Structure 1
Amino acid sequence: MLKKILKVTLKVVGLLVLAVALAYAYISINVSSRMNKVYAVNAATLDLPKDKTILGNGKRLYTIKGCADCHGADLGGKVVFDDPAVGRITSANLTSGKGGLPANYEVKDWVRALRHGIGQDSKPLLVMPSHDIYKLSDNDMAAIIAYCRSQKPVDRDLPDIEIRPVGKVLTALDKIPMLSAEMIDHNYKAPAEMLPEISPAYGEYLAVACTGCHHENLKGGESPVPGGKSVPDITASGAVGKWSESQFVNTLRTGVRPNGVKLSSEMPWQMTKGYNDTEIKALYAYLKSKK
């Protein structure tokens, strides 16, 4: 009897191992195929400004759009995340220094990366949140690119991005925003300019940066970070709907809610505190209009 039980148990375990192996093989092939997909996009060429005021705005946009969080204040990149099961995520060195962008990296390549989430080889960039910024106006996009290209070279070699088994599974299940290129409307026509004003329309333009965490409808829910806390509803039906404009401004500037509770460490208020009054008030006007 014992031999029979052991035989059946080994058979079941063997079948389970085989099933897991086949499932992982399918996932690995699927993810690899998506990562190596070649995109044919028409990346526009933008005229870059040289005016110091506009370059200053490019620096500000680089900060408030979250670029500095990953690529660093010096644009030299860093190891953002390294987990033995999930993978190693590095941000690119955006300068012309050693380990940085190649000498033939043109404005069109910047646009391809920022607006389409695609590299010079026409394949998807990994963990590059282009879906949060691809709707930027041509003027704002050009200001960011001009600022980045004006910075001093930084010599910094970084290891390649490596997606490990758990990372591949999470990618296959769309639990992490690995491939921005899949989330972008590549036929989107960006406005030439967005005039800053305190209005829901301008607030909607700014709120694109919030959708990466708070979801497309800004109603919150599951965190885009595996194991992260649930993300709150920031529309009029959530807590923001009960805040005054001054309370909203203060929260995004200090990282403290009106009730005195600190925002989650996952909320980048260090970034939003760089918004000017017009931007924060416009964002508030838009969120209050969202039921």
Structure 2
Amino acid sequence: MMKPKSTWQWIGLIGGGLIALLVVAFVVLYGIGTARANQHYDISVTVPPIPNDAAAIVRGEHIANSFGICKNCHGEDLGGRLEFDIPGLLTIPTPNLTAGKGGVGAYYTDADWVRAIRHGVGHDGRPLFFMLSQAFNEWSDADVGALIAYLKQIPPVDNELPARNFAALGRVMMGTGMVPPVAVDLIDHTAPPPAAPDPGETAAYGAYLTHTCTECHGTQFNGKPFGPPGEEVPSPNLTPGGELATWSEAQFIQTLRSGVTPRGKALSLDMPWVSYGRMSDEELKAVWLYLQSLPALPQGG
């Protein structure tokens, strides 16, 4: 007769089985994360007219400086920087947009610029991480064309950044969904470009200018969990149901220009207030009107 297994033998069998399951899970999640990081997107684009007149270039520069928040990630000279570098997890640079050494401007075609800005896909067909293309996709042909016109003539900056890389644990995190969805998966790539409302102190124009705000404050502008996994905090509620109900238009504009709220609280550096503060008085008044027109919602997140 077979001797019954001892307690330690059972513990060994169960422990070995659990280890085997963990190994299988690691391999599966690693594979999912690798596929996600390297997925190729074949997206055909329609290139809008790219102007070369001074007025359009000035408009493009204004977009990059202000509500486009390009310089918040790519640097004041748009030469790029190492945005995320976590040893053992991932390395993600924000690209050098100029035509200098290491810059995409040296080889990007007009179609490449459109694909990156509107669709979140790079020159190699891979997804661009932490790129707000789901917001930029809401811009008009005229504004996208003006931005590209500006980017094509900015001074070259020599800045060769490390390649994007996901370590094994980083790929597993991607496989679990801990890394946020990439913009390319959030966009209807067949939708026609929207028309921009006429500039002016109107809620409609304010709505057009706030597409990038939804990334942190949510599509209803009442806040959502923000921050690294496990460290999320609610982003502020921008509807009349939040603190802005006690602000005036002048205080709102002053806050975005100074980075300090009416209560004397400094805005988080995660909030690109320097960029938004470069918007014109007319634009900021339009944004204020739009936010005030929203339903008063409780704090989200």
TM-score by length of 2: 0.87
Task: Give the share of equivalent positions with the same residue, in percent.
Answer: 36
Counterpart position of 2:54: 52
CA positional deviation for 1:115: 0.2
Please give the alpha-carbon distance, in whole angstroms, between the structure 1 residues aligned to 2:174 and 2:294. 30
Which amino acid in structure 2 is aligned with residue 245 of structure 1? E
Question: Residue deviations 1:52-105, cap 9 Å, x none?
Answer: 232122122112222112222222211111112431111112222222227552
Q: Which has the larger displacement, 281-290 or 110-119? A: 281-290
Aligned residues: 289
Q: Is the 8 A contact 1:212 1:224 kept in 2?
A: no
Check if 1:128 corresponds to 2:131: yes
Letter of the 2:281 counterpart: D
- Could you tell me how far 1:224 is from its partner in structure 2? 4.8
- Determine the structure 1 residue equivalent to 2:240: 236
Which of 266, 280, 284 lines up with 2:270 in the alignment? 266
Give unpaired runs (5+ residues) of structure 2: 296-301
Measured in 1, the distance between the counterparts of 2:181 and 2:168 equals 14
Letter in 2 for 1:14: G
- The equivalent of 2:292 in structure 1 is 288
Q: Which residue of 1 aligns with 2:298?
A: none
Is 1:179 paired with 2:206?
A: no
Query: RMSD across aligned C-alpha pairs, in angstroms?
Result: 2.2
Equivalent residue runs for 1:102-117 within 5 Å:
104-117=107-120
1:61 to 60, 63, 66: 63
Q: How far apart in 1 are the matches of 2:266 and 2:23? A: 44
Secondary structure of the equivalent of 2:91?
strand
Task: Report the secondary structure of 1:90's partner residue.
Answer: strand
Q: For 1:230-265, what per-residue CA distance to the aligned partner results, in whole angstroms no more than 9, with x for missing partners?
A: 212111211123322112111111121222222223
Paired residue type of 2:141: D
Q: Which residue of 2 aligns with 1:216?
A: 219
> Quick one: distance in 1 between partners of 2:228 and 2:170?
12
Q: Deviations over 1:18-52 (max 9, x none)?
A: 22222222222222223333334331212222222
| In structure 2, distance between residues paired with 1:133 and 1:146 | 16
Deviates more, 1:119-128 or 1:140-149: 119-128
C-alpha change, 1:79 and 1:288, in structure 2 (3 Å) is same
- Aligned match of 2:283 in 270, 279, 282? 279
User: Which one of the candidate residues 126, 141, 145 is aligned to 1:142?
Assistant: 145
Aligned to 2:299: none
Which has the greater radius of gyration? 2
2:211 counterpart letter in structure 1? V
Matched residues in 2 for 1:208 and 1:159: separation?
30
Which structure 2 residues correspond to residues 141-160 of structure 1 after superposition, within 5 A? Answer: 141-160=144-163
Deviation, structure 1 residue 216: 1.6
- Calculate the TM-score normalised by the size of structure 1: 0.90
What is the alpha-carbon distance in structure 2 between the residues aligned to residue 58 and residue 257 of structure 1?
29
Q: Which runs of 5+ in 1 are unaligned?
A: none
User: 1:133: how far off?
Assistant: 1.6
Alpha carbons 2:33, 2:173 under 8 Å: kept: no
Q: How has the CA–CA distance of structure 1 residues 100 and 24 changed in structure 2, closer, same or farther, with 3 Å as cutoff?
A: same
User: What amino acid is the match of 2:174?
Assistant: T
